[in-house]
A and B are shown apart, each in its own frame.
Chain A
Amino acid sequence: MSELTSLTTSEMRAKLLSGEISSMELVSAHFDRIEETSDLNSFITLVKDQALKNAESADIIIKEKGSNSGLFTGIPVAIKDQLVTKGIETTCGSKMLKGFIPPYDCTAVKKLKDAGAIIVGKTNQDEFAMGSSNEYSAFGPVKNPWDNSRVPGGSSGGSAAAVASGQSPIALGTDTGGSIRQPAGLCGIYGMKPTYGRVSRYGAVAFASSLDQIGPFARSVKDLALTLQTISGLDSNDATSVKDKVPEFVKELESWESKDLKGIRFGIPKDLMSGGLEDSVSNSFNEVISRLVKLGAEIVEISLPHASSSLAAYYITAPAEAASNLARFDGIRYGHRSSSYHSLQELYEKSRAEGFGKEVKRRIMIGSFVLSSGYYDAYYKKAQQIRTLVINDYKAAFMNSCDVVLTPVSPTVAFKLGEKTSASPLTMYLADIFTVPINLAGLPGISIPTSLSPEKLPIGMQCVGPLFSESLLLGVASVFEREFKFPVTQRTTGRIN
């Protein structure tokens, strides 16, 4: 029955509806897989009893309603621990929130549950989504399913590893500077950061509010589209969610079944890529380009002169917003409270010193500094001006030269555990060079696995489109999926080491 962990949700749905399998069997098979591959450390919390109970109810619903049941009825999903889940411990990978059981559901989670999905657990992550390797988790690092000695990427590393290893067919993550796309790329699956505002952020514990966005991980483009369709839309609980009607992503994707890439212009930002790629990534990128040309695509060189400054602007903007957002963790209303204090101030300072990990403290301190009196204009305001320039760069590129901007997801394949944490914090930041500009500009981006490096590690490509162009990105990704045939289920069964 282990093949159940290799299926897409659409395949699962067909088998559930035909009665070939029950949700009980499906969910149990996933818990068996989770147990078998527990070395990955991809979950912080598992809710097996609850999930099996929900599977029992799902089987009744499927019998009663058949194809009128919700699209994800009886299908397991994994949720990043950054998203609050009613009644299920939510830690954000931090000691600060150990034992915190939220009284409400994140909107995206609620929408998946309303569609019948069964939560198997909460996935491991870098603390408060700050990191690119999952090593900054208070619950230990996650391992890459393709090579246990390497990182899965971050911050949504647990979600990526869970989907890549067959622990769950889909998962939700959050992406503030690449936290969905980068781990999807390093783990060989699909991941998408939707346009800012496409998915409500209500219930995503805020890291950098002007950059954060929830998005899906999946092993097929169709599953990515199904999940995105389910979680998108206006929400009165998030004033920044957009009113635009959510397109029918799945239906629009079907129109790509008979299409190639004829007439689609892929922009290659040479200035952004001058920083140097690892050989295997560079070779793979060139190979992708020549395949795209064969598929009728047009390749154009574009200029995004400010994109390379995005990283510096990001590492001002994100910490500044984080310093403000994480002020809520004061040891008073929820979360960790120190056991020894004499004054209110001391209660704050000790609770926060004990509750937060090193990287979170560094970012809060950088944020407090750049927002402090006398430095605001030189740092925060400057970074927001750079943001305008980055936005204009992309606007000009999309208006004049290309439909999609193509880069690798990351400059390297998955790196070794400990390789970047032992160096300066900056070394880790540089892993985000291709993903960060998209968050500053609010654009949608998709991570598509295309090939394996000589050492059998996944390499992914990132496609970025104009605001609200998710359908185009999904369509393009489906052509890549068909053409490159990346072995996305290779790690979903059997031993992982």
Chain B
Amino acid sequence: MKKLSLSDNDVKHVAKLSAIEITEEEVPTLKEQLNSILDYVQTLSEIPTRGVEPTFHIHPVSNVFRDDVHQASYKSEEIAKIAPDFKDNFFRVPQIIKSNS
């Protein structure tokens, strides 16, 4: 693997992927920090892993089922207490689809 280093634009792209707003002033420091971390983790490329199965999880568990019985959910009053903007049983967000009028 050839050594990779993030550019200013890469940093902005990664911030976008992360849904985190960053300012122009933050870019140089972030670039330096992220690159130092990437430099370090790229040392792994020197370790041969051809044919090694990846382990995503320690225990081989899959499809853990429970009985299909209904359970009480939270009351909407409780959810309303922790939501930033909640009205008539809905979370309120800015308009997503523009109207034609």
Contact = CB atoms under 8 A, between A and B. Distances in A.
Interface residue tally on B, bucketed by range? 35 or more
Q: What DSSP secondary structure best describes chain A's contact surface?
A: helix
Interface string B59-75: 10100101000000010
Interface string A315-329: 110000001000100
A367 B34 CA distance: 11
Given A361-B20, A365-B20, A425 B33 contact: yes
A372 interface: yes
Contacts, number: 159
B89 interface: no
Nearest to A97: B82
Contacts of A378: 1, 45
Contacts of B53: 385, 388
B94 A349 contact: no
A352 B96 CA distance: 19
Contacts of B10: 369
Interface in B59-101: 59, 61, 64, 66, 74, 78-79, 81-85, 91, 93-94, 96
Interface string B39-52: 01111110101001
Given A236-B66, A349-B21, A385-B53, A309 B58 contact: no
A364 B79 CA distance: 27
A381 interface: yes
Q: What DSSP secondary structure best describes chain B's contact surface?
A: loop
A356 B18 CA distance: 12
B21 A313 contact: no
A458 B26 CA distance: 38
Contacts of B84: 331-332, 334-337
A383 B82 contact: no
B49 A385 contact: yes
Contacts of A100: 82
Interface string A353-378: 10010000110111111101000001
Contacts of A210: 56-58
A361 B26 CA distance: 12
A454 interface: no
A362 B33 contact: yes
B91 to A, nearest CB: 5
Nearest to B22: A353
Contacts of B94: 341-344, 346-347
A162 to B, nearest CB: 26
Given A315-B41, A334-B83, A364 B52 contact: no
Interface residue tally on A, bucketed by range? 35 or more
Given A333-B83, A337-B84, A348-B19, A389 B49 contact: yes
A330 B60 CA distance: 32
Name the residue in B15, B55, B93 with the highest tally of chain A Cβ atoms < 10 Å from its Cβ.
B55
Nearest to A392: B52
A442 B56 CA distance: 11
A340 to B, nearest CB: 11
A372 B22 contact: no
B33 A424 contact: yes
B82 A347 contact: no
A240 B44 contact: no
Contact of A442 (B15, B59, B82): B59
Contacts of A389: 47, 49, 52
A306 B47 contact: yes
Contacts of B91: 332-333
Contacts of A344: 93-94, 96
Contact of B58 (A101, A103, A197, A386): A197
Given A103-B82, A344-B94, A384 B36 contact: no
B58 A196 contact: yes
A242 interface: yes
Contacts of A426: 36-37, 40
A83 interface: no
A162 B79 CA distance: 32
Given A352-B19, A353-B20, A372 B44 contact: no
Name the residue in A102, A337, A382, A426 with the highest tally of chain B Cβ atoms < 10 Å from its Cβ.
A382
Contacts of A337: 84-85
Contacts of B96: 344
B17 A372 contact: yes
Given A369-B10, A369-B14, 6 more contacts: A239-B61, A323-B18, A353-B21, A362-B34, A365-B30, A383-B44
20 contacts: A197-B59, A240-B61, A312-B42, A331-B84, A333-B82, A341-B94, A349-B20, A361-B18, A362-B34, A364-B20, A378-B1, A382-B45, A384-B54, A385-B49, A385-B52, A388-B53, A388-B54, A389-B49, A424-B36, A442-B59
The 9 residue pairs across chains A and B that have the minimum distance between CB atoms: A442-B58, A384-B54, A337-B84, A239-B64, A349-B21, A353-B21, A385-B49, A368-B17, A385-B52
Interface of B: 1, 6, 10-11, 14-15, 17-22, 30, 33-34, 36-38, 40-45, 47, 49, 52-59, 61, 64, 66, 74, 78-79, 81-85, 91, 93-94, 96
Interface of A: 100-104, 196-197, 210, 236, 239-240, 242, 306, 309, 312-313, 315-316, 323, 327, 330-337, 341-350, 352-353, 356, 361-362, 364-370, 372, 378-379, 381-389, 391, 424-426, 429, 441-442, 467
